[in-house]
Structure 1
């Protein structure tokens, strides 16, 4: 019997914020992403293994990891500005 298992990653764009990049120092738009890794059995996702948040600069492409609290704060900040 063959057992097919593994993980799959899904990348979701959460929101767009604008601030100074840590890498290039330019005031540019930053995309906040959530990457969810899921355990799969026979290519069917069963449960989450990990969730990571990060922000990517639209000017230089620099990536900065975020904690869950920082991502939630960014969402609240963007909602208050809209």
Structure 2
């Protein structure tokens, strides 16, 4: 099988497995990795949100206008590295009506001011 001139000029070549390999130096090592050993590093990172219930208060719902229990929750989002939470990104407080299920965000001062019981 002959290669076209265009394929022969490419800096990468195939070893038959369908994977392209980078061009190697005459000594057999990769140009980027002297001696043929190339150390690799990987990082596992992401965001994780933890939801915790702060309490329950009796209030009139903004949505349905019924006097019902309102569940106060705290949602804390943190940046994690190797599954270890490192840096807090955002903390939000939510209030959810147990009658209609409507959920809306409240400020931190409102969440701390509400009589939880």
Question: TM-score surpassing 0.5?
Answer: yes
Structure with the higher strand share, 1 or 2: 1
Structure with the bigger RCO (C-alpha within 8 Å, sep 6+) is: 1
Which TM-score applies when normalising by structure 2? 0.62
2:106 to 52, 59, 66: 66
CA RMSD of aligned residues (A): 1.1
CA distance in 1, matches of 2:62, 2:111: 17
How far has the Cα of 1:30 moved from its partner? 0.4
CA distance in 2, matches of 1:9, 1:60: 25
Structure with the higher helix share, 1 or 2: 1
Which position in structure 1 is the counterpart of 2:76? 36
Bigger Rg over Cα = 2
> Please, which runs of 5 or more residues in structure 2 have no aligned partner?
1-40
> Please, which runs of 5 or more residues in structure 1 have no aligned partner?
none
- Work out whether 1:19 is the aligned partner of 2:59: yes
**Runs of 4+, deviation exceeding 3 Å:** none
CA distance in 1, matches of 2:79, 2:92: 15
